[in-house]
A = this chain, B = another copy of it.
Amino acid sequence: MTIAVVGSLGLDTIETPAGRVEEVLGGSAAYFALAARHFLPVSVVAVVGTDFPAEARRALEHPDLDLSGLEVREGKTFRWEGVYSKDMNTRETRRTELNVFEHFRPKLHDGLRSSTNVFLANIDPVLQREVLDQLSNPRLVLCDTMNYWIHGKREELLEIFKRVRILLINEEEARELTGESLTHRAARAILSLGPETVVIKQGEHGAFLQGRDLYFTCPAVPIESVIDPTGAGDTFAGGFFGALARMGRLTDKTLRAAVVYGCVMASFTVEDFGVAGLFRVKRQEILRRADSVIKMTRFSLDDTARLLR
């Protein structure tokens, strides 16, 4: 079993209070794939330009990553530059150069068309639809999106929502999408748009999952210092989908555990610039951090009924 991800690959220039890196490997597909590969092999569907550095390419050349769907197009690779505020809670985009990504029309080869597990990362919902239309047996399709599409291509996005089982979205975007100011009301409103489950990403506050009969919250895994929050959401998606697809079934139990693995994987990304944190991840450390979430959240109310007057 594998997961196919359709998303962006690019070269990011990132400035945070911890420092600055220039033209490092980035893009939603990179973060997703490098997280999900710890659970299942991942096929990457994306486009880069002929200037895509050999070093960035090598970073993706891993036995568990299938790059047969990676198109190299004449021209320059997608570039993004962003600067984070002092508390890293907001960021300003200084520059977006779509380059070859502007004309990206994902074409899945026969092997990829039969993918059953597909992640539609944050790209134009028109492209997300084109991908869906090429799939012969889409059993578990998850998607992400962002403000830009919520405002610019709302109708197209709402069509996608009817065709995906789980939507991953961040807190502010969920509120903007639904017009609900309480996040958990926004989550429930999203369920009426199509997805049977929605996962709300809350940054340093963790994430929660809302299903028809399931509400599960998970805190972020605290780390010593946040170096760069870029890609944390896509990494969460990789950990979540990777764990879920590996478990094979969507149940109350597997969905809960998947959220925990999403939070765990995201904690590795923010520890370093770009995808660097994901390269140091050891199996034992994933398990250790997942266990730490148990310790952070468990409690007992045994006999506390007698506390009350």
| A91 smallest CB distance to B (angstroms) | 14
Contacts A205-B202, A299-B260; A181 near B286 (Cβ below 8 A) = no
For A217, the chain B residues whose CB sits under 8 A away are 206, 219, 296-297
Are A301 and B308 neighbours in the complex by a CB distance under 8 Å?
no
- The residue on B at minimum CB distance from A40 is B309
Are B219 and A208 neighbours in the complex by a CB distance under 8 Å?
yes
Residue of B37, B88, B208, B256 touching A299 (CB-CB under 8 A):
B256
Instruction: Give Cα distance in the complex from A38 to B307, angstroms.
Output: 8
Are A257 and B294 neighbours in the complex by a CB distance under 8 Å?
no
Are A286 and B308 neighbours in the complex by a CB distance under 8 Å?
yes
For A206, the chain B residues whose CB sits under 8 A away are 217
Contacts A88-B181, A296-B216, A297-B297; A304 near B222 (Cβ below 8 A) = no
For A129, the chain B residues whose CB sits under 8 A away are none
Instruction: Give a binary string over A240-282; 1 marks a CB under 8 Å from any B CB, 0 the rest.
Output: 0001001100000100110111000000000000000000000
Are A308 and B38 neighbours in the complex by a CB distance under 8 Å?
yes
Contacts A287-B305, A309-B64; A253 near B88 (Cβ below 8 A) = no
For A290, the chain B residues whose CB sits under 8 A away are 301, 304
Are A184 and B222 neighbours in the complex by a CB distance under 8 Å?
yes
Are A222 and B216 neighbours in the complex by a CB distance under 8 Å?
no
Are B204 and A183 neighbours in the complex by a CB distance under 8 Å?
yes
A175 within 8 A of B: yes
Are A226 and B257 neighbours in the complex by a CB distance under 8 Å?
no
Instruction: Give Cα distance in the complex from A232 to B79, angstroms.
Output: 45
Are B182 and A300 neighbours in the complex by a CB distance under 8 Å?
no
Residue of B175, B259, B299 touching A216 (CB-CB under 8 A):
B299
| A107 smallest CB distance to B (angstroms) | 29
Residue of B64, B215, B291, B301 touching A222 (CB-CB under 8 A):
B215
* 13 additional A-B residue pairs with CB within 8 Å, beyond A185-B224, A216-B296, A256-B300: A17-B181, A87-B175, A184-B222, A185-B225, A217-B219, A218-B297, A218-B299, A247-B307, A256-B298, A283-B309, A293-B299, A297-B297, A298-B298
Lowest 9 CB-CB distances: which A-B pairs, in order?
A256-B299, A87-B181, A217-B219, A205-B205, A184-B222, A246-B307, A297-B297, A283-B308, A217-B296
Partner-B contacts on A (CB < 8 A): 17, 37-40, 64, 86-88, 175, 181-185, 202, 204-206, 208, 215-219, 222, 224-226, 243, 246-247, 253, 256-257, 259-261, 283, 286-287, 290-291, 293-301, 304-305, 307-309
